Amino acid sequence: MSNQALRVTCPNCVALIEFPVVSRDNESNNQPFQSGSCAACSHVIDLRVAGNQVPADPHSFANRQRAVTLLQPNESSVESVLFDALQLFRSNWKVLLGVSCLTTLIWFVLVAWPCRKLSDLWTLAQQDATQMLTFVLATFMVVCVGILTTAYTTSVMARMTLAVARYGRGRNQSPVRFAPGSDAMPSRGSLSVPPRVLFHMTLFMLFIAVMMGMLLLVGVAVMIAFMLILPFPRETATLVGTFSVGCVYFVLIFALQWLLWPSVCLIADGRSSFGQSLQQSFALSWIHRRVSLKVVTFYFLLSTIGALLLYVGQAITTPIASLPLAVAYLRMTGGQTALDSTE
């Protein structure tokens, strides 16, 4: 019987370990190894049981998060995340800005421009009641196309930033354009999105649209309540109500971004469905709440600046703001970036 290696998964930290298995002629007292110690967490493994089981996938999201929780590695600082993102942006800015400009153009043509036409149609419908049905149908079509387009452009940007963070030009000057031995991730700059990813991202965007709509309705109801309850003139009550609702609305939107941003990466990465991504996103954001909160704040500020600079500014700030999220996501889920040493 020749020398072999027994490949098992540590039941405590899910590390993948190989134990040498020698022939019976070379074993002392003619007894096989019955136990071994995990090099990652020092857990004693019963090789008689583990050797007969199929090793768990150490790259799955659940197993990675279990290992991260049990081993409790040092959490990446937001400074290291932003620094790595800046280095990756400097080395891959052409493809980042190129794809960002294309997705912004697609979103403008299919979403922003039709919304402007809807405002003109609304003005016409106010003057002519027969145009109201046309306005309602047009609004429904724009909303459907808008959700699908936003899901597509978000998927493209998320998958592109993840591809750059993983396989882009890093310390090694030659970029890897495909994940080694896998078709799961696209080449840098690819505009293709797998149907499954697009489907679950569309569900996620629909969920966000419903949440925003509910918040808007609640805000309007609260403003009307302010106007009716406050003992102020109507103009003053409206101003106070608008300011109060606006502040609460701002905080709620920021909280949703903080808790749900990993969902975009999880879905775009093909790791989770829509429902699973929500649960995993809350867990990730809470476990790594310090880094997550700071990275989301950075994204929120840059996105606001880009929105104020209209679509050109948005095309420039989007990849700069999204790349730290991709790096933070890889750090939080135990993945490697192009800047990590492979030795």
Confidence of residue 237 (pLDDT cuts 50, 70, 90): confident
pLDDT at 142 over 80: yes
Q: What b-and-e string marks burial along 289-308, b requiring 16 or more CB atoms within 10 Å of the CB?
A: eebbebbbebbbebbeebee
Beta strands in the chain (DSSP E): 4-9, 16-21, 35-37, 44-46
pTM: 0.71
Cα–Cα distance between 67 and 71 in angstroms, integer?
A: 6
Closest CA to 14 of 51, 66, 83, 87: 66
Express each pLDDT in 63-100 by its tens digit: 555 554 544 444 567 888 889 999 999 988 988 999 99
Confidence of residue 61 (pLDDT cuts 50, 70, 90): low
Cα–Cα distance between 8 and 16 in angstroms, integer?
A: 6
Rg of the chain over all Cα atoms, to the nearest angstrom: 26
Give whole-number Cα distances, 228 to 149, 215, 217, 244, 247, in Å.
40, 20, 17, 15, 20
pLDDT at 180 over 80: no
Give whole-number Cα distances, 129 to 119, 121, 123, in Å.
15, 11, 11
- Which DSSP string corresponds to 176-219? --S-TT-SSSPPTT-----HHHHHHHHHHHHHHHHHHHHHHHHH
Percent of the chain, pLDDT > 90?
27
Cα–Cα distance between 248 and 175 in angstroms, integer?
A: 45
Q: Which residue has the higher pLDDT, 184 or 63?
A: 63
Confidence of residue 207 (pLDDT cuts 50, 70, 90): very high
Q: Are strands 4-9 and 16-21 parallel, antiparallel or unpaired?
A: antiparallel
Confidence of residue 297 (pLDDT cuts 50, 70, 90): very high
Find all residues with CB under 8 Å of 13, minimum gap 6, and list them: 38, 40, 41, 43, 66, 67, 70, 71
Cα–Cα distance between 153 and 150 in angstroms, integer?
A: 5
Q: Which amino acid is at 80?
A: S
State mean pLDDT over 265-277: 90
State mean pLDDT over 125-154: 89
